[in-house]
Amino acid sequence: AGDSRREQFRRYLEKGGVLDMLTKVLVALYEEPEKPNNAMDFLKQHLGTAGPETADVETLRLEVIELRQKYELLLEENKDLKAKLAQFDPPKEEGQPE
């Protein structure tokens, strides 16, 4: 019964491509000329489970804040320019094409 369950599980992994993916990543680690200090990090990175680097996240967070501030300034500038433009545009009369 135990062998049957193992065989079923092996087929399940094989069908899902898990065995192929693990094999490829382990072969890549084996063929790595300079072995990484942390094999688990290597596996996570190559399996796509590693999250973004903390420094990258912080850089992106600061960029988002900066872009939001710039956006607000541009909205204000746009509003001011529209107000100035309205001073020079004669009011449109009804029935006239724009």
**Block means of pLDDT (10 residues each) for the chain, length 98 residues?**
88 92 93 93 80 77 96 97 88 65
Residues ≥6 apart with Cβ < 8 Å to 51: none
Enter the DSSP assignment of 90.
P
> Cα-Cα-Cα-Cα dihedral of 20, 23, 25, 30, to 10°?
-160
pLDDT attached to residue 64: 96
pLDDT attached to residue 56: 80
pLDDT attached to residue 22: 92
Instruction: Pull the structure tokens for residue 12.
Output: 């399940």
Contact 28, 46 (CB under 8 A): yes
Q: Find how far residue 3's CA is from the centre of its chain.
A: 42
Number of residues in the chain: 98
